[in-house]
């Protein structure tokens, strides 16, 4: 299913990280910094397989079983985290969990949601009702079944200061 397509930890920690480094601020490049050039830029000239319109999600620009597949996990995080930190945390987690990084596929909103459509709605000043986000997110949590909450830095995680992240945590716990 296209909606559950996700990047492998292997791809995130190699190619995706390299894309972020080349357009951003090196190792401190956060997700916000790569939104235009990487997250939207990579799919700018591709047709979206979901709606057939120009502009696709980043995940749709990737192929090969070592790089992309059906999500095995969902990452709950903030766009303020450095891409390098996200990639390293996932790599360490996969290693400690004895999982194959080429077969562990992580659904991340920044790469799996079509950011072209998000920007279109923003330009039109369209507000997406919370209930729409709620339904989509709860469906993904149910289908994927495993949520990884990334909390950094350990002494004061930015994650805990974001209400949407708390909602994701609540939904994951409530779905068990």
- DSSP 3-state of 105: strand
Alpha helices in the chain (DSSP H): 9-11, 17-23, 31-34, 83-96, 109-112, 115-123, 130-144, 163-174
Mean pLDDT of the 53-82 span: 96
Cβ contact 64:139 at 8 Å: no
Q: Which two tokens stand for residue 82?
A: 């450095």
The predicted structure's pLDDT at residue 15? 96
Q: Per residue in 79-96, pLDDT tens? A: 999 999 999 999 999 999
The predicted structure's pLDDT at residue 157? 87
Q: Per residue in 4-51, pLDDT tens? A: 999 999 999 999 999 999 887 778 899 999 999 999 999 999 999 999
The predicted structure's pLDDT at residue 121? 87
The predicted structure's pLDDT at residue 39? 92
The predicted structure's pLDDT at residue 68? 98
The predicted structure's pLDDT at residue 165? 86
The predicted structure's pLDDT at residue 131? 83
Mean pLDDT of the 124-139 span: 82
Pairing of strands 105-107, 147-149: unpaired
* Consecutive H or E run containing 47: none
The predicted structure's pLDDT at residue 86? 97
Mean pLDDT of the 152-171 span: 87
% of the chain with per-residue pLDDT over 90: 64
The predicted structure's pLDDT at residue 107? 96
Q: What does each C-alpha distance from 49 to 53, 54, 60, 111, 171 come to in angstroms?
A: 8, 9, 8, 15, 28
125: left (phi over 0), alpha (psi -120 to 50) or beta: left
Write down the mean pLDDT value for the chain.
92
The predicted structure's pLDDT at residue 6? 98
The predicted structure's pLDDT at residue 43? 95
């Amino acid at each position: 299913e296209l909606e559950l397509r996700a990047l492998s930890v292997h791809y995130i920690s190699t190619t995706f990280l390299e894309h972020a480094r080349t357009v951003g601020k090196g190792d401190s490049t956060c997700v916000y910094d790569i939104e235009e050039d990487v997250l939207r830029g990579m799919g700018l000239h591709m047709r979206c397989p979901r709606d057939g319109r120009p502009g696709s999600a980043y995940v749709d620009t990737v192929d090969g079983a070592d790089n992309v597949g059906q999500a095995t996990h969902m990452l709950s995080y903030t766009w303020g985290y450095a891409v390098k930190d996200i990639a390293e945390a996932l790599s360490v987690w996969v290693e400690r969990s004895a999982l194959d990084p080429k077969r562990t596929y992580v659904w991340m909103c920044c790469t799996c949601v079509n950011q072209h459509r998000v920007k279109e709605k923003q330009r039109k000043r369209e507000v997406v009702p919370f209930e729409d986000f709620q339904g989509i997110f709860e469906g993904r949590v149910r289908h994927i079944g495993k949520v990884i909450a990334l909390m950094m830095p350990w002494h004061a995680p930015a994650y805990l200061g974001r209400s949407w992240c708390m909602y994701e945590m609540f939904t994951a716990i409530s779905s068990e």
